[in-house]
Structure 1
Amino acid sequence: MPKKVWLLVIGMLVNVIGNSFLWPLNTIYMHEYLDKSLAVAGLVLMANAGAGVVGNLLGGFLFDKIGGFKSIMAGIVLSIIALVYLVYDHSWYPYIIFLTILGFSGGIIFPSMFAMVGSVWPEGGRKAFNAIYLAQNVGVAIGPALAGLVASVHIDYIFFANLVFYIVFLAIAYFGYKNLDIAPDRHTDVIREAGRIKHKAPFYALLILVSGYLITWLVYSQWATTISTHALSLGISLREYSFIWTINGLLIVLGQPLIKPLIKRLEHQLKMQMFIGTSIFTLSFIVVSFAETFEMFIVSMVILTFGEMIVWPTIPTLASQFAPKGRDGFYQGIVNSAATIGRMIGPWAGGVLVVMYDMKIMLLILTSFMAFTLLTTVLYDRPLRNFEQKE
């Protein structure tokens, strides 16, 4: 990889390690330490994710207008301000307010990072986005493990740890991203004609694609919310649950050689990659629906990890291919917004369904929604085919 991509990869790693001190423990903190119900915790996480949607769209817009460096710096500075206050006071109402602000500021950062890596290394294709994806998951491997250790000493220390990593990220971004150059001739790889911005086929294809992506994240979000409290109720400790996420992150890195033959064989068949990955993803949630032991949770996470390793990097890759010149940030903002909306609806939907039925029924109901994602995977490129036929 080029040096400039490594700078982005390292920045994403530090960012995610810091974030990983909070997101796996949010529901547990609100439920166990602030004595709030799962439904109330879900509403707070919904506010956090809703602010993230706004941040995603704004971050994509700012990338296209003022560049990646300024937009990323704005998100980092706002996050640091929120975390400084949370270190000082993380009682119920400040927690709601500043967790929501963190959703907004983090939302600004992520689409800018994805758009920047696609722009500085356009010839990298899926490799560029897979590098960022790997960085995220190395962070997931390290962050929750550290968070579990920190929380076992005192839960309040997780806020300070998050702040420290954001300060490090600020230094990396300020000294490393200031002079990153953007490829001057960004274009859509799908349709190259001069009037590409006027027609809407790539945009419609993107909307179909991300609608399924949204559902996938709605289901995936249960691991950080309802499944976490369910695991604790079965006698699994907080440190063990954090270790499950460590397995996820480590396997994503160490398992790359295992999926490499499949990815290489299907290098130019992103649709097939998505279909296979989504099918494996769905199987994992069927397994976790019946899990009652720590070992079965690990088995489910291993299956889930192989599914996401295949499907996750394809979404921003396709968005980058669809994006007309000068719209990389906007398209990546839509992708990240879809994921954030899924994370916003997921905790609330899961909490309500647990109250109405039970954990197993909730997971089976949400898993059945994955049939919609398989459908969008099959159909997303239809607008492109129809346009090409007309041309």
Structure 2
Amino acid sequence: MLAVVMLINRTGSMVLPFLGVYMTDHLGFGLKETGIVLSFFGIGSVVGSWFGGMITDKIGEFKVQSFSLLISVPLFCLIPLFKTEVGLAFIIFLQSTVSEAFRPANSVAVTKYAKKGNITRSFSLNRMAVNLGFSIGPALGGILSAISYDFLFYSNALGALLAGLTYIWFFRNRIHRNENSTQTHTDEKSISPYRDTKFLLFSGLCLVFTVCFFQLLNTLTIFYKEEAKLSQQLIGYILGYSGLIIVILEMLLVQIAEKKFKLRFTLFIGTFLCGISYAMLGFDHGILYLFVAMTILCVGEIWTLPFMSTVTALRSGVNNKGAYMGLLGIGFSVAFIITPTLGTYIAEQFGFSVLWIGTGILMTLTAVGFYFIIPWMLGEKQKESDFE
């Protein structure tokens, strides 16, 4: 049911992929100003991930998810009222703070409701719902934005409202399936993630990956619009295609990785494929070529993102899952600060080809880092292909 809630919420998620286009095309912002405003989404995400993780350990994931979804509703409706850079940066910061508090609470809920031994598949099912919604949302967003950008914000508000009501109705009296199945380090179960050196290094690699990967949500759409000369509708179709591919392939590819690969190899190959996908954009941008690159990116994403959450769950203890998931979320959120500004700056100063080839090289180095740090962090006795 968590996946159903996520599906409802993400089906209405049309704002972020088109936010950069909204500012450049509708409000007339330059690339530099657009990157700065988009970075405030990342700043709010950092605050929301930290606060959400901390408060989840204190009041529980049910209250945090409920409040986050319901308070997001009026905030989405307010965004179209702000037309200046300062005003838009403020409301985006506030909205992202509230909405991103949902992320660590939701991850904790997955670990508590998942069957023993199914944690990665549970994260994957949740992500599959996200991407099914993402395949619908941006496609609709491309159509609606061609009529009026305001529809994007109101649709997001409606999605958050429906998701919040559904979640509260179904989970208000639910009992957790388990509390202890993902604890693997009894000697470190109470340590703060901010004092866990090994996990901090892993989080650093996750940050580098997400800085590169989340160009999908901002710089890539600008590239599609400005360099590849795609229409808003076609941009929406490509993004929707990515979500559809993940829905079709994710559970199959995750099961293959669990059975055939070691955990460190899964993250290595997933990250490497993402790097290949972005590097391809530096050489051509024909429409079929772009779809091929997006397909490779989707496969890489499937073998990276859910397994990051698995590693985090395995590393955490019973009473600090929210803090660990929150720190992982902070890395994602910091990427939202760095990526728009850095990506648009490199594209403006050196061109998109340099940006994409550089991204590919950096992701390759990150893949190597994952390969060596994961067995060191989880310990020699941890069977990397067995997530029980």
TM-score w.r.t. length of structure 2: 0.91
Taking the TM superposition and a 5 Å limit, the aligned residue runs for 1:75-224 are: 75-86=68-79, 89-92=81-84, 93-121=86-114, 123=116, 124-183=118-177, 185-186=179-180, 188-193=182-187, 196-197=189-190, 203-224=196-217
**Matched-pair contact (CA < 8 Å) for 1:72–1:108:** yes
1:120-150 CA deviation, whole Å, 9 max, x = no partner?
2251221111111111111111110111111
Report the Cα distance in structure 2 between the residues aligned to 1:202 and 1:386, rounded to whole angstroms: 21
Report the Cα distance in structure 1 between the residues aligned to 2:330 and 2:251, rounded to whole angstroms: 30
Report the Cα distance in structure 2 between the residues aligned to 1:258 and 1:188, rounded to whole angstroms: 22
Report the Cα distance in structure 1 between the residues aligned to 2:318 and 2:164, rounded to whole angstroms: 29
Larger mean CA deviation between 162-171 and 23-32 belongs to 162-171
Report the Cα distance in structure 2 between the residues aligned to 1:43 and 1:79, rounded to whole angstroms: 22
Aligned position for 1:4: none
Aligned position for 2:29: 36
**Matched-pair contact (CA < 8 Å) for 1:212–1:372:** no
1:54-91 CA deviation, whole Å, 9 max, x = no partner?
1011111111110111111221232122123235x142
Q: Indicate yes or no: 2:341 matched with 1:363.
A: no
Report the Cα distance in structure 2 between the residues aligned to 1:46 and 1:348, rounded to whole angstroms: 7
**Matched-pair contact (CA < 8 Å) for 1:202–1:322:** no
**Matched-pair contact (CA < 8 Å) for 1:49–1:340:** yes
What is the DSSP-based 3-state SS (H/G/I as helix, E as strand, rest coil) of the residue aligned with 2:369?
helix
What is the DSSP-based 3-state SS (H/G/I as helix, E as strand, rest coil) of the residue aligned with 2:74?
helix
Aligned residue pairs total: 378
Aligned position for 2:337: 344
Q: 251, 257, 260: which one pairs with 1:266? A: 260
1:259–1:51 Cα change, 3 Å: same
Aligned position for 1:73: 66
1:10-54 CA deviation, whole Å, 9 max, x = no partner?
1111122222x1011000001111111111111111111111111
**Matched-pair contact (CA < 8 Å) for 1:202–1:384:** no
RMSD: 2.3
Aligned position for 1:379: 373
Q: 1:360, CA displacement in angstroms?
A: 0.4
1:200–1:148 Cα change, 3 Å: closer
Q: Which amino acid aligns with 1:131?
A: L
Aligned position for 1:301: 294
Q: Which amino acid aligns with 1:305?
A: C
Give % identity. Answer: 20
Aligned position for 2:221: 228
**Matched-pair contact (CA < 8 Å) for 1:187–1:323:** no
Q: 1:188, CA displacement in angstroms?
A: 4.8
Report the Cα distance in structure 1 between the residues aligned to 2:265 and 2:229, rounded to whole angstroms: 39
Aligned position for 1:316: 309
1:260–1:352 Cα change, 3 Å: closer
Taking the TM superposition and a 5 Å limit, the aligned residue runs for 1:7-46 are: 7-19=1-13, 21-46=14-39
1:244–1:169 Cα change, 3 Å: same
Q: Indicate yes or no: 2:52 matched with 1:59.
A: yes
1:318-370 CA deviation, whole Å, 9 max, x = no partner?
11111111111111111111111112201100111122211101222232221
Q: Indicate yes or no: 2:326 matched with 1:333.
A: yes
Report the Cα distance in structure 2 between the residues aligned to 1:266 and 1:210, rounded to whole angstroms: 25
Report the Cα distance in structure 1 between the residues aligned to 2:77 and 2:255, rounded to whole angstroms: 46
1:84–1:198 Cα change, 3 Å: closer
Report the Cα distance in structure 2 between the residues aligned to 1:204 and 1:183, rounded to whole angstroms: 31
